[in-house]
Amino acid sequence: MAKFSGYGFWEKIHPVGLLGCLPSKSFSRNYDAYVAKLIEIGELVREPKFVREQVRDLFLNSTQRKWFEDHIHKGSIGSIAYSKVRSEIVHNISHEPFTFTAMYNDEELPDLDYKLMESCLSNVIDNLKQLSTENNSFWWEF
């Protein structure tokens, strides 16, 4: 649904944010190398394929390679936002906006707050409604 939100950054990977997602058991032997490489990539959010290519030489085994194939989405802006913002809202409705120190299209990512989330949801609903009407189909078929 991210593609219907009107914001192109949701599925992009936050390289430094990805560090918090690496399972310690599988990456403990060369975690510092991953830290260095992901920090080197910088503060731009990137396509998953780009991040995989950058760390490919660090894989010590098939477990690390498979984790990046199957779980790199955990470092996406959408996944990080879901785990940070959603959890906070469930327990504290008056939460502060969540800020990323990252860039997308030469601009800082906006704060993730109620206003942005409401805008995204409205865009998703409007876009799916339009596609459903145009294609005479249900929204979940897209």
Q: What are the tens digits of pLDDT across the range 28-59?
A: 999 999 999 999 998 899 999 999 999 999 99
Over 90: is that where the pLDDT of 23 sits?
yes
1, pLDDT greater than 70: no
* Burial class of residue 58 (count of CB atoms within 10 Å of its CB; 0-12, 13-18, 19+): middle
Query: pLDDT tens-digit profile of 123-135?
Result: 999 999 998 999 8
Q: Using an 8 Å Cβ cutoff, are 83 and 112 in contact?
A: no
Report the alpha-carbon distance of residue 1 to residue 125 in Å, rounded. Answer: 10
pTM metric for this prediction: 0.78
Per-residue confidence (pLDDT) for residue 93, from 0 to 100: 58
What is the tens place of the pLDDT at every residue in 63-104?
A: 999 999 999 999 999 898 887 766 665 566 556 777 878 888
In angstroms, the first-to-last Cα distance of the chain is 9
Pairwise pLDDT comparison (141 vs 92), residue with the higher score: 141
Let me know: does 109 contact 77? Beta carbons within 8 Å.
Answer: yes
Q: What is the mean pLDDT of residues 19-27?
A: 93
Residue in this structure with the two tokens 């470092």, named with its chain if needed? 75
Q: pLDDT value at position 99?
A: 81
By the 10 Å C-beta count (0-12 exposed, 13-18 middle, 19+ buried), 59 is classed as: middle
